[in-house]
Structure 1
Amino acid sequence: MAGHSHWARIKRAKAVTDARRGKAWSKLSRAIIIAARSGGADPAMNLTLRYAIDAAKAANMPKDTIERAIKKGAGDLEGAEYVELVFEGYGPGGAAILCTAVTDNRNRTAPEVKRIFERHGGKLGASGSVAWMFAQRGVITVPGDQADEEKLTDIALECGADDIAADGDVFEIQCDPAVFEPLRQALADAGITPENASISKQPSTTVAVSGDQAEKLLKLIQELEDHDDVQDVYGNYELSVEDMERFAG
C-alpha cells in the first residue's frame, strides 16, 4: 500500500504540474494571438510578438502551439475572438493595483475580477484611477555568473539604461522601452544570457503595507494571477523582509 500511496502522490503532483503548465501556456498563447492581431504575424517587424514568442519558448511551449497562436492572431486559423481588458483598483493597505486580462467573454471576466477584489478587501476603480501611477519600463535580469557588475554596467550605460542594481546573485537592469531591444542585443553580442527580459509596468511611487493588510494583499494578488484570463498584475506596494518570509513559509 505504501508503494501505491507513493505512486498516487506522484500522479497527483504530476497532474498539478501539468495543470499549471497548461494554464501558463494558455495565457502565453493569448498574448501571442493579441500581439499578432495588433501588429502582424512577422516577429521581425513586430517586437511585441517577438517578446511573446520568446516568453513562450522560455516556458517550453511546443513550436506547433506557438505557430497556431500566431496564425489565429493573423486570421489564418479560426479561433475565439479575444479582447484585452484593463482593471484598476486598490487593495488592502491602499496599494494601487493594475491588472490586464485577455478574454473571449468580457461579461464573464469583469464580474469575476471584481469579486476577487472585493473578497480580499480591495475595490475596483474607474479607468485611469491608478494607471497614471505606472510607466512602461524595460526590465532585464542577469544571473551573477553570466557577467560581473562592471561589465554589465558598461554595457547598460552605453545602451542608455537608467539603472542597474544587484539583488542577491542577480543583477537587474531597468531602461526606457526605446532602448530595450538594443540593450538585449548588446548583451547577446557579449555572450550574456538574461534570466528574464520583458517590458513591464513600474510604479512611480510605492506604499508600505505590513501585517494583516500585507497578508490580505498577497492573497488578492495571488488569486488575480491564478485567474485564467488574467495576464499580468502590477502593484505599487512594498513589503518588509519579515512579512515576505512569513508568508512564504
Structure 2
Amino acid sequence: MLRLSRVSLNIPAPARSFSSTPIIQAGHSKWANIKHDKARNDAIKNKVANKMAKAIAVAAKLGGPDPTKNVRLAAAMEAASKANVVKKVIENAVRRGAGISNSPGEKTAVETVVYEGVTVGNVSLVVEALTDNKNRTFSAVRAAFTKYGGNLPSPTGFLFERKGFIVIEKGDKTYDDVFEEVVDLGAEDLEEIVNDEGVELLEISTGFNDTGSIANQLKELQYNIKEVGTSYVPNEDALIEIRDPDVMERYNKFIATLDEIDDVTDYYTTLKEVE
C-alpha cells in the first residue's frame, strides 16, 4: 500500500557569539536552512501527490470516472484528499484516466501498458504505465533501463503472479470475524498491518480477477475501504539479493530515474531486501 513519508523540520539554532557579525551570519544560516527544508518538504509532497494522482488515473481508467460506482477510485480519491492533494490535481487525474480532455467535448485516448525487463544486479521488473502515446512511453522506459545496463524488453512476467489486495479498517470487529466474512466472499488471505501513521488496518489478498467484486461486496457490508489495487507478486525462488553497496547505489539511481517518468504508474521487482 502507499505509505506517506513524514519529514520533520530540524532547524539548528543560531550559535551564540560575543560579536555582532557572527550573529547576523547565524541568522542568515537559519533562514537558509528553513528554505532548504521547505524545498525538501515540497519535493516530498509533490512526489506523494504525483503517485496518488497516478493511482487515481489508473482507477478511473479501469473502472470509470464515477467514484460512487468505482470502489477503487473512491478509495484513491479519499486517500489523496486526506493527504491534502489539491482538488484540481485529483480532478485532472480522474479526467486523464477516463480519457477526458481539458477541452470541453474532446476525449484523449489513454491505455495501460506493461513492460518487462532486467536491470542492475540482474533484478527483474514488471513496469506498468498509463499513456496516450505508447512510443513516447516505451522510449522513456527503455532509456532508463539502457542507461544502467539493463535490457528492455526481456521476458520476466513468468517470475511473478498477479494478485489483488484490499485494505480496510477493522472497525469494532475481531480479526476472526473479518477473516470468516472475507473468506466467504472469496478472499485468499487476511493480514493485520500498521500504516506509517500507526493506524491498524487489515489487508485482504484476493485473486486478480476477484478484486473488484470482493471490494464491492465489502462496501455493501459497510466496511471502510482504504485502498484497492492489483500487483505483481514475485515468486519466492525468483528473489535476488544485492549485497554490494556500489551495485545497490546504481540500482537505487535506476529506480529514481524510473520514478521520474510521468507515464509510469507502478513497478514490481524481484529484489529481496537484505535484513
Asked if Structure 1 and Structure 2 have the same fold, meaning a TM-score greater than 0.5 normalized by the shorter chain, the answer is: yes
Shift of 1:214: 4.8
Higher Cα radius of gyration = 2
Counterpart CA distance in 1 for 2:63 and 2:175 is 36
The residue number in structure 2 matching 1:232 is 266
How far apart are residue 234 of structure 1 and its match?
A: 0.7
Using the TM superposition, give the Cα deviation of residue 98 of structure 1 relative to its aligned residue in structure 2, in angstroms: 0.8
1:162 alignment partner in structure 2:
188
Q: Which residue does the alignment assign to 1:9?
A: 33
Equivalent residues in 2 for 1:36-75, closer than 5 Å: 36=60, 39-47=63-71, 49-71=73-95, 73=98, 75=100
Letter in 1 for 2:87: K
> Would you tell me which structure has more helix in proportion to its own residues?
1
Could you give the per-residue CA deviations for residues 150-186 of structure 1, whole angstroms, max 9, x where no partner exists? 3443343233221234568775431124145535764
Are the aligned partners of 1:51 and 1:198 in contact in 2 as well (CA < 8 Å)?
Answer: no
2:151 is equivalent to residue 123 of structure 1: yes
Q: In the comparison of the two structures, how many residue pairs are matched? A: 238
Structure-2 separation of matches of 1:179 and 1:34: 15
Aligned to 2:20: none
Structure 1 residue 148: Cα displacement: 5.3
Unaligned runs of 5+ in 1: 242-249
1:28–1:165 CA distance, 2 compared to 1 (3 A): closer
State the distance in 1 between where 2:64 and 2:274 align: 43
Q: Pairwise mapping of residues 1-249 of structure 1 onto structure 2 (< 5 A)? A: 1-29=25-53, 32-33=56-57, 35-36=59-60, 39-47=63-71, 49-71=73-95, 73=98, 75=100, 77-78=102-103, 82-103=110-131, 106-126=134-154, 129-141=155-167, 149-165=175-191, 172-177=203-208, 178-179=210-211, 182-183=214-215, 186=218, 189=221, 194=226, 196-205=227-236, 206-212=238-244, 213-241=247-275
Percent sequence identity over aligned pairs: 29
State whether residues 97 and 233 of structure 1, in contact with CA within 8 Å, keep that contact through their aligned partners in structure 2.
yes
Q: Give the whole-Å Cα distance in 1 for the aligned partners of 2:253 and 2:122.
A: 15
C-alpha spacing 1:16/1:36, structure 2 compared with 1 (3 Å)? same
Aligned partner letter, 1:229: D
- CA gap of 1:20–1:101, structure 2 versus 1, over 3 A, is farther
Amino acid at match of 1:211: R
What is the alpha-carbon distance in structure 1 between the residues aligned to residue 71 and residue 61 of structure 2?
13
TM-superposition CA deviations, 1:107-152 (whole Å, max 9, x none): 54433322322333421125xx223443432224568998754344
SS of aligned partner of 1:150: helix
Structure 2 length normalisation: TM-score?
0.66
CA distance in 1, matches of 2:219, 2:72: 19
Indicate if the aligned counterparts of 1:82 and 1:103 stay in contact, CA closer than 8 A: yes
SS state at 1:124 partner: coil
Judged with a 3 Å threshold, the aligned counterparts in structure 2 of structure 1 residues 167 and 26 are, in CA distance, closer, same or farther, namely closer
